[in-house]
Amino acid sequence: MRRLLPNEPERHFDIRRLSVVFACASLALAGATVWIIADDHGRDWKETQAEFRRLERASVEEELAIARSRAQQAEVASLWESVAREETALAERREELDEHGELLAGLERQRSVVVSRSRSLGSRIEATRARLAEAVVDGGDEEGLRLRVGELEAELLEQRKATELLDEEIVGLEDRIEGLRSGLDQARERLELATAELRRLEARSAALAEGTTDALRDLPLVDFLRPVSRIRQVVLDDLTTDLHFTRAPRVDRCATCHLAADRPGFESADWAEPYRSHPRLDLFVGAGSPHPYERFGCTVCHGGEGRATEFSRAGHSPVDVEQEARWRDEHDWRRAELERPILPADLSEAGCVDCHQEEVWTPASQVQEAGRALTLRLGCQGCHRIDRPSFRDRPVDGPDLRLLASKVDRGWAYRYLEAPRSFRPATTMPSFFHLENVEGEASLSRQRAEIRALVAYLWSLAPETPPELPAAPRGDARRGAALFLERGCAGCHLAAPEATRDDAFPRTERLQGPSLQGTGSKLSPDWLYAWLRDPAALSPGTAMPDPRLTDDEAADLTAWLATRVVEGWAGATLPPADEAVRDGLLLDRLTRSGTVEAAVARVESLDASEREILLGLETVRKYGCHGCHALPGLEDEPPIGSELTDIGVKPLEQVDFGRVDDVPRTRHDWLRAQITRPRVWDRGLATVKPYDELLRMPDYGLSEREARAIVTNLLGMTDDLAAPGLLTGRHELGPGRLAIDRHACRACHRVEGTGPALLDAGVEPAALPPPLDAEGVRVQAEWLLGYLRDPSAVRLRPWLAIRMPAFELGHGDLDTLLRYFMERDGAPVFSPEPRRPTERSLALGRVAFAMLQCARCHPAGPGALADLTLQPQELAPSLLLARQRLRWDWVPAWIADPQAFVAGTRMPTNFAILPDGRHVSPLVDEVEAPMFGPYRALLAAHFESEEAMIEALGDVGQVTVGLRDHIWWGLR
Amino acid sequence: MDSIKGLIDLAASPPVAFTLSIVVFFTLFRSRWPWTRGGGLTMLGVGVAGLVFGLSDDELRRRVAEPDNLPIVGLVFVVGFFVWLAMSKAWANDEATERGDPTLEESERDDRVLTWPDLVFVELIAAILLTVALVVWSLLVPAPLEGPANPALAPNPSKAPWYFVGLQELLVYFDPWLAGVVIPGLIVFGLLAIPYMDRNPRGNGYYTFRERRPEILLFLFGFLVLWCQLIVVGTFVRGPNWSFYGPFESWEPARVAGTATISLSEALWVRLLGVGLPGSWLLRELPGLLVVGLWFVGLPVLALRSPWLREQRERLGRVRFHTVVFLVAVMGLLPLKMYARWLFHLQDIVHLPELLLSL
C-alpha cells in the first residue's frame, strides 16, 4: 500500500493505476472506433474498381505506345511533312494573307455599324407606326407621321443594300483567304484523320490518369463529395423485386464490380471476370441492344441480390465444384440464402423465360428453347400442371394404346413396359419399373404384378373386332431405305439403330414421331403397310399425317422397316401371375378409396382376369399413364404430379432432399437430380415406405445436356412480373408457333430462320421443301387454306421427291396457322382483286419476260417439265399457278428483290440494287443489241417515242408490274 | 469418439437430461466443494472442455457458432460464474459465522470510500470496456441477416429470440393460453411478490446460504433448472419440426414431428376402461379436475402435516403462505407435465375445449 500524503483522503483503488487502466480502455475504444470506420470503409468492390482502373490504364498505355510508334511510321511522317511544307508555303505568302485579314476585319467592322443602324431604324419604324395608330384613332398629326414612316423605310432600304454589298465583299474575301489556306487545311485534316486513334487514346489515357487528389477523394468522411470509387447502380422502376409484403423497384449494383459489362472492347482472353464485356452486347446490356443496361439491369435475367456489393451476398452460384473451390479460396464464398440466387453461368438462359414465354420461340436462348421443346415432347405437362403458354391445354399426344393389341403381343408389351429404352434408346417413353427405389423380392414381385396388370388392362381396351389389315405386298427394302430419306420421313423420325434422343438435340422435330429402331421386332408388315397407307384410318387424330405414298413406295418402306429388328425381342412371353401379390395390391388400392368390406366384396366378385384388368386400371392411375396416352374413362382425371408453374421460385424448404447428401442444397441441383434420378430421394427408404408410397416419377434417361436444357427452362418459370411496357416481343405469334411445333412444320421447312430438321438428317439442300419465309405476304390466304387442307390437289414443285403430307388440321389449327403467317408478315387476310392491266404494261411485261428468260426455270405448261434439260435445283414453280396462289400486289416487289423476302432463294436478283437502295433495270442496256429488234416492234405501238420506251424499260417499277401483269393475264 | 457423442446424444434426450439436471442441481447445492475455488475451476474446466469438444464436431459447431446462439453460450458461463461467486461467498460467511468470526461484509463495515473517484471511475472504465467488447463482437460476427421475410414460408425450426426460447418451450407442454399469457403473467407477478413474501430477515447485506436455504433453492431451481435450462434446450437441442435432436445429431433429414398425444380423460375412459368418453364434459374431465384439485389443494393440506411447514405458515401468515404455495404449485406443474408428456404422451390433464381451457 502506498503511503498517504497528509491531506489525501483514503482511496480503495490506486487512482494513478486506475488512470492508466482508464487511458488504456479509452485507447481501446478509440481503436475500436477506427476499426469501425475501417471496416465500414474498406469494401471489396473498391479494390475491384482500383484493380480495374489499373488494368485499364495499363491496357490503354499499351495501345497508346503502339499508336505512337505507328505515328512515327513513314506514311504518318509524310503527312507531318506535308503539313510543314504547307505551313512554309503559307508563311511565304504571309503578307498577302495578313493584308486580306486586315481588309476583312475592316469590312466586318463596317458591317457591324450598318447592322446596328438598321436595327435602330427598325425599332424607330415600329415606334412611329404605333404613334401613327394612336393618331388615326385619337386624332393627331397623321400626315406627318405617315411621311416619317416613309422616310425611315427608305433609309432602312438603303442600309439593307449597303449590308448586302458588304456581305458580297466579305464572302469574296473569305474565299480568297480560304484559297490561300486550303493546302494547309487539307494537309492538317489528313493528318488528323491518320492520328485520330492516337488522340482518342491520349484523351482516354488522360482521363484515366491517376490524379494527385484521387487518394484524398476516397478518404472516409470526405468520400461523399466526389469519390473516385463509387457504387455504380441503376434503379429500375418498371422491374420490381418481390419483398413479399410489397414490390420495390429493382436496384442493380452489379456494374460496381462488372465495370466493363456494358462496354465493348473487353472481350479478349486478357480480361477475366469481373472485367469482361457481356458476351452478347448486341442482345444484352449494350446501349444499342434490345435489353440496354439502363432499362433492364442485370438481375432481372441473371437473378441474385442486385443491391448487394459483396461477392457472396450478391448470390453468385458456381457452375461446378472446381469453380466453387476457387471461389471459396479467392472470395471467401458462402452460399447466399436467397430465394433467387444468381443462376450458374450454364443455366443463365433461364432468365429469358418469364418475359419471352408468350412468344414461345426464343432463338437467342438455344438451351432454354431446347428445354421447353423437350419438356413438351417428353410430356411433363401430362402429369404436372404448368400454367404457361406453351403447356396450357395441351392435348395428350402419346400413341393410341387401344391399337396395341393389334400391333404387338403381350410378351413384347410386358418387356417394353419393363424397360422401354432397352428396345429403343431414343424413345420418349420413360421407365417406370425396376428403378433404384425398388429393393427386395416383395417389391419386385409387386412390380411384376403391376406390369402384368397393365398389359391385361391395355388388352382389354382393344376393339371387339381388330382392324382389317390387307396383306402387305412385297417391297424392296433397299428402295425403302432410300425412300425414308427422300420422302422426308427423317424429318420426324430417328432411324439409326443406335440413335439416342441426343441425336436430335437441340431441336426436337426429329423426336416428333417415334424412333424407327426395331420396327421389325414390334410390328407386322401388314400393320406397317396399312399404317403407311393411311395412319388416320387406323388411329383417328394421330399426329402422323398421311405421307401420300404410292402403293409401291409404301410396300418398299414396309419391307425396309420390317428388316429393322432388335435382337432377342422375338417371342417374349409374360411371366406367370402371382395371384396373392396381385390381390394384395388390388385390395390396397381399393381400400384407399372405399371401405374394406366393399373392397373385399369387389375383389371376390371378379374372376382372375377381371382382377388383373382392374389392377391395371388402378396402376394406370398410380403412374399417370393417362397424362400422355388417351385412355377411355380417364380423360378428366386430374394430373398426378405437383404443379410446376412457378417451380423456378419453389422455396428450397419445401423440397425434400431425403437422406441424399451428395446433391448440393440448391434449387437447380435438386431439379437436376429430380429429373435424372427421379427416385433418388427414396434412398434408404426403399424397404421402409409402404410400396404404394414409394416415389413414382419415371426415369426418362435424360442425357447431361437434355437435363441442363430442361432445368434451364424450369428454373425460368418464376412469378416475376415484367412491366408491360418492356414486353415488346411478338406475343401474337405464340399460338401459331405452337401449332407449327405440334405439326413439326420445321421438320421440312425453314420457319423464321430455323429448320429444317431434314438438313440435320442429311438431306441435300436442293432436295428440301421451300422455306416458309414471307409465306404470309406471298400467297393468298384462300390458296394456303386450300393447300393445307389438301396438298394433293396441286403439285407445286414436281421435281421435289419430298411431298407435303396431308395433315388432319381442324378449324382451330387452320385458323391459327393462317393467322400466324399473315400476322408475322404483316399481310392482310384478303389480298386485293387483280386489276385489268393496260396494254402497254402487258406488252412491257411480255418483252421483259422474254428478255429475262423467266420461262427457263419456271416451266409454263403441264408438259413443259419434260422438255427441260435443267437440274432439279434449277427449277422453279410453274407460273401458271401464280394467279391462284400468289398475291397480286406482292409479285412486283418480289421480282424486284427476292432476297429481301426469302434469304438464299434461288430466284435471281435481276435488278441490281445500288448502294442508295435504287434498283437498276438491266433491260436498258439491251436496247442497242440486234436481238432487241423484234421486241422494239412489239413495244413501238404502245409508246409515243423511243425515249419513252427506253425510260419505261429502265423503270424497275414499270417492268416488274409489267412482268406481273404478263404472268397474270398473258400466260393463258 | 463417436460412442462418446452417442452417449451424450442419449443423455440429451429430454427425460434423461431433465432428470440429470435436477439431480445435479440438488447434489451441487448439498455439497461444499463445488463452491470452493477448486470446485469452481473444475466446473469451469468441465464447461470449457465440453465447449471445445463440442466445437470439434461440425454439426454442433455450426449450431454453437451461429451468431444468434453466441449469447446463449455466454449465458451458460456468465450465469454459472455469478451463481458460483455468490455461493462461494455465502459458504465462506456461513463458515465464519460458525467459527464465531464476523462475516466478510461485517469486517468491512467500517471501511468507507468516496463515490468519486472510487466507484464512478471504475464504473466508467467498465462501461468503456463493455462498449469496446460489444463493438469488437459486432465487427467480428456480422449480424445474421437473411433475405426478405416470406410470410407464406415459416423457417423450420422457427425460434423465438433467445430470451423467449424458454417461454416457447412451454408451448409444447401447455395450452397456448396458459403458456403464453397465464404463466408468464404469474412469473412476473411472482417475481414482483418476492419482497412481500420473503419475511426472512437473514442475509440482509451479506451472503449466506445456511440462513436462507429454502428461499435460495426455490428461486434457483426455478431460474436455473426451469428457465435457463429451457433456453439452452430450445436453442441447441430443438431442431426441425421442433423435435429433440442430440447435440451431435444431424438435423437432416428432419425428424417427423412427435407421436400422437392423449389427454388424461382419453387415457382413462378410452384406453383403460374401454367405455368411450362420457357425454358430459364434467364427468369426462372429473378425473383430471380431481388431479388438479389434488395438486393445488390436496398436496398442500397433506404437506401441512410437516411441522416445518406449519411453522412457516405461522411465520408468514396464512395469506402469504398460501400464495407462495400456489406459485410453487404452478411452477411444479411444468416438470409434472414434462414428465407426463415424455413418459406417457399425456398432453392434457384437463382437456376442456368447450371452455377453451386445458391444463
B10 shares its domain with B129 = yes
Cβ atoms within 10 Å, residue A499: 18
Nearest-neighbour CA in chain A from B220: distance (Å): 33
Contacts of B152 in chain A (CB under 8 A): 244
Nearest-neighbour CA in chain A from B5: distance (Å): 21
A813 shares its domain with A949 = no
Burial (Cβ within 10 Å: 0-12, 13-18, ≥19) of residue A20: exposed
Mean pLDDT of A812-828: 93
Note the pLDDT tens digit of each residue in A153-189. 999 999 999 999 999 999 998 998 888 888 888 888 8
In degrees rounded to 5, what are phi and psi of residue A810?
-80, 175
**Chain centre to alpha carbon of residue A623:** 35
In a domain, A126, yes or no: yes
Contact flag B136-A35 (C-beta cutoff 8 Å)? yes
A311 shares its domain with A382 = no
**How many residues are present in chain B?**
359
Residue A556 sits in a domain of what CATH number? Answer: 1.10.760.10
Note the pLDDT tens digit of each residue in A758-779. 988 888 888 889 999 999 999 9
Cβ atoms within 10 Å, residue A565: 15
Nearest-neighbour CA in chain B from A39: distance (Å): 8
B133 shares its domain with B211 = yes
> Three cell numbers at B350?
384437463
B306 shares its domain with B221 = no
B85 shares its domain with B214 = yes
How high is the pLDDT of residue B296? 92
A37 to each of A40, A229, B34, B133, B235, how far by Cα in Å?
A: 5, 16, 46, 16, 33
Note the pLDDT tens digit of each residue in A77-123. 788 888 888 888 888 888 888 888 898 999 999 999 999 999 999 99
**CA A208, CA A617: separation in Å to the nearest integer?**
75
How high is the pLDDT of residue B219? 93
Nearest-neighbour CA in chain B from A15: distance (Å): 8
Of B118, B128, B151, the CB nearest to A11: B118
How high is the pLDDT of residue A862? 52
B18 shares its domain with B50 = yes
Of A26, A33, A338, the CB nearest to B147: A338
**CA A344, CA A208: separation in Å to the nearest integer?**
33
Residues 6+ apart with CB under 8 A from A84: none
**Boundary of a domain, candidates A131, A166, A194:** A194
Residue type, A232: R
Helix, strand, coil shares of chain B, percent, nearest 5, are 70, 5, 25
In a domain, A670, yes or no: yes
Low-confidence residues in chain B, pLDDT < 70:
257-259
B interface with A, Cβ–Cβ below 8 Å: 111, 113-114, 117-118, 121-122, 124-125, 128-129, 131-132, 135-136, 139, 146-153, 155-156, 252-253
Q: Is the pLDDT of residue A9 over 70?
A: no
Q: Which residues are bridge partners to A248 per DSSP?
A: A241
A524 shares its domain with A387 = no
Nearest CA in chain A to B111: A12
- The domain tally of chain A equals 6
Residue A857 banded pLDDT, cuts 50, 70, 90: confident
How high is the pLDDT of residue A863? 52
Quick one: which of A272, A267, A91 has its CA closest to A181? A91
A interface with B, Cβ–Cβ below 8 Å: 9-13, 15, 18, 21-22, 25-26, 28-29, 31-33, 35-36, 39, 242-245, 305, 337-339, 651, 653-654, 657-659, 661
In a domain, A349, yes or no: no
Quick one: which of A785, A798, A777 has its CA closest to A880? A798
B86 shares its domain with B34 = yes
Quick one: which of A530, A499, A529, A484 has its CA closest to A423? A499
Of B124, B148, B253, the CB nearest to A243: B148
A441 shares its domain with A559 = yes
In a domain, A62, yes or no: no
Quick one: which of A738, A771, A719 has its CA closest to A377? A738
In a domain, A761, yes or no: no
In a domain, A274, yes or no: yes
pLDDT over 70 for what percent of chain B? Answer: 99
Whether the ω angle into residue A922 lies within 30 degrees of 0, i.e. cis, is no
Of B131, B147, B153, the CB nearest to A653: B153
**Boundary of a domain, candidates A587, A603, A627:** A627
> Three cell numbers at A41?
470503409
Q: Is the pLDDT of residue A542 over 80?
A: yes
B123 shares its domain with B226 = yes
Note the pLDDT tens digit of each residue in A595-651. 999 999 999 999 999 999 999 999 999 999 999 999 988 988 888 999 999 999 898
Q: Would you tell me the crossing angle of helices A781-789 and A811-825 to the nearest 10 degrees?
A: 140
**CA A395, CA A627: separation in Å to the nearest integer?**
9
Residue A681 sits in a domain of what CATH number? Answer: 1.10.760
Q: List the domain range (segments joined by +) for residue B328.
A: 262-358
Note the pLDDT tens digit of each residue in A327-339. 999 999 988 888 8
In a domain, B251, yes or no: no
B164 shares its domain with B238 = yes
In a domain, B200, yes or no: no
At A744, is the secondary structure helix, strand, or coil? coil
Contact flag B129-A12 (C-beta cutoff 8 Å)? no
Residue type, A169: E
**CA A262, CA A279: separation in Å to the nearest integer?**
10
A:B CB pairs within 8 Å? 77
**CA A815, CA A171: separation in Å to the nearest integer?**
70
Nearest-neighbour CA in chain A from B205: distance (Å): 20
A623 shares its domain with A644 = no
Q: Is the pLDDT of residue A304 over 60?
A: yes
Nearest CA in chain B to A681: B253
Helix (H) / strand (E) element for A108: namely helix A94-138
Of the residues A332, A653, A659, A661, the best mutation for testing chain B's interface (the one with the most B CB atoms within 10 Å of its CB) is A653
In a domain, B131, yes or no: yes
Contact flag B252-A35 (C-beta cutoff 8 Å)? no
At A915, is the secondary structure helix, strand, or coil? coil
Contacts of B129 in chain A (CB under 8 A): 25, 28
**CA A251, CA A681: separation in Å to the nearest integer?**
38
In a domain, B341, yes or no: yes
Mean pLDDT of A330-349: 90
Q: Is the pLDDT of residue A851 over 60?
A: yes
Of B113, B129, B135, the CB nearest to A10: B113
Mean pLDDT of A451-463: 94
B236 shares its domain with B266 = no
A780 shares its domain with A907 = no
Nearest-neighbour CA in chain B from A244: distance (Å): 6
**CA B337, CA B318: separation in Å to the nearest integer?**
28
In a domain, A944, yes or no: yes
Contacts of A657 in chain B (CB under 8 A): 252-253
Q: Would you tell me the crossing angle of helices A142-194 and A74-92 to the nearest 10 degrees?
A: 140
> Three cell numbers at B100?
464465531
Residues 6+ apart with CB under 8 A from A175: none
In a domain, B129, yes or no: yes
A263 shares its domain with A374 = no
Residues 6+ apart with CB under 8 A from A357: A388, A389, A390, A716
* Contact yes or no for A426/A374 (Cβ under 8 A): no
**CA A899, CA A821: separation in Å to the nearest integer?**
18
Q: Is the pLDDT of residue A868 over 80?
A: no
Of the residues A4, A20, A35, the best mutation for testing chain B's interface (the one with the most B CB atoms within 10 Å of its CB) is A35
A936 shares its domain with A869 = yes
In a domain, B217, yes or no: yes
**CA A641, CA A625: separation in Å to the nearest integer?**
12
A676 shares its domain with A551 = no
Mean pLDDT of A588-592: 91
- The domain tally of chain B equals 2
Nearest CA in chain A to B128: A25
Nearest-neighbour CA in chain B from A28: distance (Å): 7
Cβ atoms within 10 Å, residue A904: 10
Mean pLDDT of A695-711: 95
Contact flag B117-A11 (C-beta cutoff 8 Å)? yes
A613 shares its domain with A660 = no
Residue A751 banded pLDDT, cuts 50, 70, 90: very high
Contact flag A29-B128 (C-beta cutoff 8 Å)? yes
B235 shares its domain with B127 = yes
> Three cell numbers at A100?
486580306
Mean pLDDT of A929-940: 82
DSSP secondary structure, A281-339, as one string: TTTEESTTSSEEHHHHTTHHHH-S-TT--STTTTT---SSHHHHHHHHHHH-------S
Q: What is the DSSP letter of B103?
A: P
Residue A1 banded pLDDT, cuts 50, 70, 90: very low
Whole-prediction pTM: 0.84
A386 shares its domain with A478 = no
Q: Is the pLDDT of residue A681 over 90?
A: yes
- Comparing A860 with A43, which gets the higher pLDDT? A43
**How many residues are present in chain A?**
972
Residue type, B81: F
B149 to each of B63, B152, B241, how far by Cα in Å?
A: 21, 9, 19
Helix (H) / strand (E) element for A789: namely helix A781-789
Nearest CA in chain A to B124: A22
A661 to each of A338, A656, A673, B167, how far by Cα in Å?
A: 21, 12, 12, 34
Note the pLDDT tens digit of each residue in A399-439. 889 889 888 989 999 999 999 999 999 999 999 999 999 98
Residue A6 banded pLDDT, cuts 50, 70, 90: low
B315 shares its domain with B217 = no
Q: Is the pLDDT of residue A266 over 70?
A: yes
Note the pLDDT tens digit of each residue in A895-919. 999 988 988 888 888 888 888 878 8
**CA A949, CA A944: separation in Å to the nearest integer?**
8
B7 shares its domain with B137 = yes
In a domain, A208, yes or no: no
**Boundary of a domain, candidates A132, A163, A194:** A194
Cβ atoms within 10 Å, residue A927: 14
A255 to each of A277, A292, A301, A349, how far by Cα in Å?
A: 11, 13, 15, 20
Contacts of B153 in chain A (CB under 8 A): 651, 653-654
Mean pLDDT of A867-893: 79
Contacts of B113 in chain A (CB under 8 A): 10-12
Contacts of A245 in chain B (CB under 8 A): 148-149, 151
Of A13, A32, A244, the CB nearest to B118: A13
**CA A327, CA A829: separation in Å to the nearest integer?**
58
Burial (Cβ within 10 Å: 0-12, 13-18, ≥19) of residue A380: buried
Nearest-neighbour CA in chain A from B245: distance (Å): 16
Of A25, A35, A651, the CB nearest to B153: A651
Contact flag A29-B131 (C-beta cutoff 8 Å)? yes
> Three cell numbers at A813?
389449327
Three-state SS for A166-191 is HHHHHHHHHHHHHHHHHHHHHHHHHH
Q: List the domain range (segments joined by +) for residue A659.
A: 359-396+639-724
A465 shares its domain with A557 = yes
Residue A865 banded pLDDT, cuts 50, 70, 90: low
